[in-house]
Structure 1
């Protein structure tokens, strides 16, 4: 078995198991789920397990996750990856675009009398606390999904294929969604795959702050859904609209990516 398969297997086994265990103990901790869900730190536990077993490889996988040391701008070599200025800004702006599309469409199509939004003051906890906790939880997920698992799968597949695979596993990791109606689960899986494509293409060739960028995107989406949608009630319509909005938001990223990037060979299997 190639080592990358072992890395992936260990990461996924620990991420799924730790998430289940953390979700089981959360009620005993007294931490409100609307502030942060402890299950979000399951992928971080998976990263820790991989780091214990393959310490040299984990450094390579997580390269670019944290801020880079100050350095002179690197020149682009002929045939090298294109570095588009503002990529990080467009990535973060895609998150409110998804929420605007979701909430706007929901406001038009929802039945009369449906509660469409929740004011920050009605959340039961200070919004600043929720925002910080949501960012911490999102980073607990993204250090696994986008900083370890995406680069790992990317060694075998091109960026879009790798992103779709990561998004499908990311969606399946939210096991509880499958207790909802099939259409609800389908909308959720569509959303995770589409968001994974946005993140995968948005972070391709980004060499610093990958964790904060992925966590920031994730946090903005979570906060937007918390404030402007009611999918947590199990309602199917808002989840389907959310999945559709994520798909629409992913289309420009795919269209703007050069064909050689879409079909790019993997970085090299190890």
Structure 2
């Protein structure tokens, strides 16, 4: 029987490690979200303002950081501060922040416009921000904080991790499926509702992944800002929260349409692989786990 070389053993260890990190993150994100959701009524924080379940992914990142402290810096590189390496950089891809943020209202306009056209009365389901039970400025701030609580896990930690193993399209598709599956309550709704929601999470994950591919700093604020704009847009223009199928299906379709230009743009530039090749995540300092 052939004895494995040191290089083969090292590769196997890396493969086991990234799977272990991903598994721990997902388990804590799911269980943490459930616990926080159960705790929310006792806090008195209204769901309309902030859903504590959004901090499940942040809890997952925290636990992973405690278990593997020597690797968390590489995972979160570029979330707030500029990266020191050239990974994720691509020609012309560093100025995607504004187009990304503008894509969010485009998604809402497509979904809400189609919803108004398909409604028998022809009316959009618009909500005046002044009619909300809480100050709109407070809701905006809380929504941004909550969105960042999610995105530090999905786009700033899991996306870079999977990107070292998979391509620029496969990685965000996987993140989008996991992100959608994390919203387990959605699957208690009509199958078409759940399908529309899952289509939306995958499409948004793809456009976020491609848009952030060349961004070296403030990735968290960009991802959180996009997420916030989408949430606020749905709050003010849609009535999918009560389980109505049509607006969610239209939302998923709008996300898919909005993702197409980002996919075509990425194909036009060609896929540039990270300078850190798949499976070659920067080694942790000696003695770090």
Above 0.5 in TM-score? yes
Q: CA deviation at 1:255?
A: 0.5
1:82 offset after TM fit, Å?
1.2
Residue 64 of structure 1 pairs with residue 78 of structure 2? yes
For the residue of structure 2 that corresponds to 1:147, the secondary structure is helix
Gaps of 5+ in 1: none
Q: Note if contact 2:51-2:146 (Cα within 8 Å) is conserved in structure 1.
A: yes
Segments ≥4 residues shifted beyond 6 Å: none
1:215 aligns with 2:229: no
How far the C-alpha of 1:262 sits from its partner, in A, is 4.3
Distance 1:119 1:240, change over 3 A: same
Q: Does 1:267 align with 2:277?
A: yes
Shift of residue 106 of structure 1?
0.7
Q: 2:41 aligns with which of 5, 16, 27?
A: 27
Scaled by the length of structure 2, what TM-score is found? 0.86
Preserved CA contact (<8 Å) 2:95 2:215: no
Matching of residue 87 in structure 1 with residue 96 in structure 2: yes
Native 8 Å contact 1:160 1:262 kept in 2: no
Q: Return 5+ residue gaps in structure 2 as ranges.
A: 1-14, 282-289
User: Structure 1 residue aligned with 2:133, among 121, 124, 140?
Assistant: 124
TM-score computed with the length of structure 1 as normaliser: 0.92
2:284 is matched with: none
| Contact 1:164 1:197 (8 Å CA) reproduced | yes
Equivalent residue, structure 2, for 1:188: 197
Alignment of 1:148-187 (within 5 A): 148-187=157-196
Q: Distance in 2 between matches of 1:28 and 1:103?
A: 34
Preserved contact between residue 90 and residue 272 of structure 2 (Cα < 8 Å): no
Match of 2:110 among 101, 107, 123: 101
1:11–1:43 CA contact under 8 A, matched in 2: yes
Partner of 2:56: 42
Aligned residue in 2 for 1:247: 256
Report the Cα offset of residue 253 of structure 1: 0.3
Q: 2 CA distance for matches of 1:161 and 1:137?
A: 26
CA displacement at 1:122 relative to structure 2: 1.3
Give yes or no for contact 1:154–1:267 (8 Å, CA) kept in 2. Answer: no
C-alpha distance in 1 between matches for 2:277 and 2:270 = 12
Query: What is the number of equivalent residue pairs in this alignment?
Result: 263
Rate the CA distance shift 1:203–1:85 in 2: closer, same or farther, 3 A: closer
Larger radius of gyration: 2
Residue of structure 1 in register with 2:146 after alignment: 137
Post-superposition CA distance 1:142-163 (Å, at most 9, x none): 0000000001111110011001
Change in CA separation of 1:234 and 1:6 when aligned onto 2, cut-off 3 Å: same
**Higher mean C-alpha deviation, range 206-215 or range 85-94:** 85-94
Separation (CA, whole Å) in 2 of partners of 1:111 and 1:260: 44
